[in-house]
Amino acid sequence: MIRLINVTKHYPGRHHVLREVNLHLRKGEMALLTGPSGAGKSTLLKMLLRLEGVSNGTLMVNGVDLSTLKRRHIPAYRRRIGVVFQDHKLLMDRDLFSNVALTLQVAGLPDRQVQSRVRAALDKVGLGDRLREYPATLSGGEQQRVGIARAIVHTPEILLADEPTGNLDPRLSNEILDLFRDFHHHGTTVLIATHDQGQIDRLGLPVLRLEGGRLHAPEDHQ
Ligand SMILES: Nc1ncnc2c1ncn2[C@@H]1O[C@H](COP(=O)(O)OP(=O)(O)OP(=O)(O)O)[C@@H](O)[C@H]1O
């Protein structure tokens, strides 16, 4: 599903962030991406979203070489991926329903489908009865769950998260990561960038560690 072959990345005028990285994450797998600050975790996620290009090597997602993806096909490609950020970037002047509905509306889905999908997504994260509330009335963990509902509302094949528990206490972090695990158990491929050693130890998932531009991964993930 996700395959990096000798991928190198450097930003203009800077030395390499990633050097000949190899990774194989199969369909339906879940893994944690870790490493010190500045190691390139966000860069790797951005490359998977085609927000950043690869400098050298090959990055394949679902059999598609991203460097050959035409510009006009990028929006459709991104709709197959759900993304969760640490600062969930919710629209504070819109209620939960509108926050989650937005991507479906932009994609031109009929109203009735938008209604049912948004309700189902908010139900999955335990906020199905709070559709008309505004983000400001929610706790940090609840806001993060709205971010997750928004990421999964279009039933993506791949779910990426960048430090999704960064601002949360351990109990809420457990809840959020268990939610990701549920999606993984239902067949979604999940990759989460995290610094949280407690979660890394607790979850017992394959750990992909970036350091000094290299990726250290279990042998069957290289
Ligand atoms: N757009 C950019 N232009 C130039 N350099 C960048 C850009 N984005 C990131 N970098 C540099 O690339 C390196 C990797 O950054 P990245 O954000 O991928 O690391 P990270 O592992 O996600 O870090 P953190 O854990 O602190 O979020 C850093 O040295 C950063 O300064």
Mutation probe of ligand 1 site: the residue of 41, 195, 200 with most atoms within 8 A of C-beta:
41
Residue 9 in domain: no
Return the residue whose CA atom lies nearest to atom 10 of ligand 1.
Answer: 11
Residue 171 in domain: no
pLDDT at 9: 97
Q: How far apart are CA 165 and CA 177, in angstroms?
A: 8
Instruction: Say whether 204 sits in a helix, a strand or coil.
Output: coil
Largest CA distance in the chain: 50
Q: Is the CB of 9 under 6 A from ligand 1?
A: no
Q: How far apart are CA 176 and CA 21, in angstroms?
A: 29
Residue 112 in domain: yes
Q: Is the CB of 15 under 6 A from ligand 1?
A: no
Domain that holds residue 132: 90-155
Q: Is the CB of 211 under 6 A from ligand 1?
A: no
pLDDT digit string (tens) for 31-72?
Answer: 999 999 999 999 999 999 999 999 999 999 998 999 999 999
How many angstroms is it from 12 CA to the middle of ligand 1? 12
pTM of this prediction exceeds 0.95: no
Could you tell me the CA-to-CA distances from 19 to 12, 175, 213, 215 in Å, in that order? 15, 34, 5, 8
ipTM of the complex: 0.96
Residue 113 in domain: yes
Total tally of structural domains belonging to the chain: 1
Percent of the chain with pLDDT over 70: 100
Residue 145 in domain: yes
